[in-house]
């Protein structure tokens, strides 16, 4: 495994829609491992493939609930409720802002074995899933921020 370079805001790849993953292969397995390693090295709780320069519909998430999530070709089935809180992104280093998102989400995706899974999530995990899925459509949280982006101390959890 290896740590990959994280693309930052201003990089065109972060604004483009990503393509579905058609099959699992060694290259994609390596990408998944590298994405987890890259995310942990930066104290993030989620990372989407375009953030490491790959235009594929693939995200990894670990919000410290003792689960690692790999979501391939994710599809949001349902959202409900509302939560407002601070959000950050590894592609927007050193910043955070207040974002309102659904508090509950139901998502269907393939796992690393290309098996279908349906995940229901609330709170931080729901926020993270929605944030990462936005990356796959070329959207960044900065466009959802209420008020101004604020500076954060390095080392805080970012997505």
The reply on whether position 89 binds Ni ion by CB under 5 A is yes
The residue behind tokens 């990372």 is 47
Residue positions annotated with a catalytic role: 132
Largest pairwise CA distance in the chain = 43
* Binding segment (CB under 5 A) for Ni ion, from list 9-17, 64-72, 78-86, 88-96: 88-96
Please state, in angstroms and rounded to a whole number, the distance separating the CA atoms of residues 67 and 85: 22
DSSP 39: H
CA dihedral 127, 130, 134, 140 (to 10 degrees): -10
Q: 34 or 159, CB closer to Ni ion?
A: 159
Q: Does 159 bind Ni ion (CB under 5 A)?
A: yes
Stretch that binds Ni ion, among 8-16, 21-29, 87-95, 117-125 (CB under 5 A): 87-95
Q: Select from 24-32, 66-74, 113-121, 151-159 the region that touches Ni ion (CB under 5 A).
A: 151-159
The yes or no reply on residue 39 touching Ni ion (CB under 5 A) is no
Joined together, the tokens standing for residue 106 give 């139901």
Residues near Ni ion, by CB under 5 A: 89, 159
């Amino acid at each position: 495994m290896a740590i990959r370079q994280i693309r930052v805001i201003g990089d065109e790849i972060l604004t483009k829609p990503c393509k579905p993953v058609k099959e699992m292969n060694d290259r994609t397995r390596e990408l998944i491992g590298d994405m987890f390693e890259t995310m942990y090295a930066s104290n993030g709780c989620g990372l989407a493939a375009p953030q490491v320069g790959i235009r594929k519909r693939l995200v990894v998430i670990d919000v410290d609930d003792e689960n690692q999530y790999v979501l391939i070709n994710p599809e949001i089935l349902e959202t409900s409720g509302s939560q407002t809180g601070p959000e950050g992104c590894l592609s927007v280093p050193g910043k955070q802002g207040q974002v309102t998102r659904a508090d509950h989400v139901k998502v269907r995706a393939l796992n690393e074995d290309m098996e279908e899974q349906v995940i229901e999530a609330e709170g931080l995990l729901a926020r993270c899933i929605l944030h990462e899925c936005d990356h796959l459509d070329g959207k960044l949280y900065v466009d959802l921020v209420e008020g101004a982006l604020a500076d954060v101390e390095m080392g805080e959890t970012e997505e």
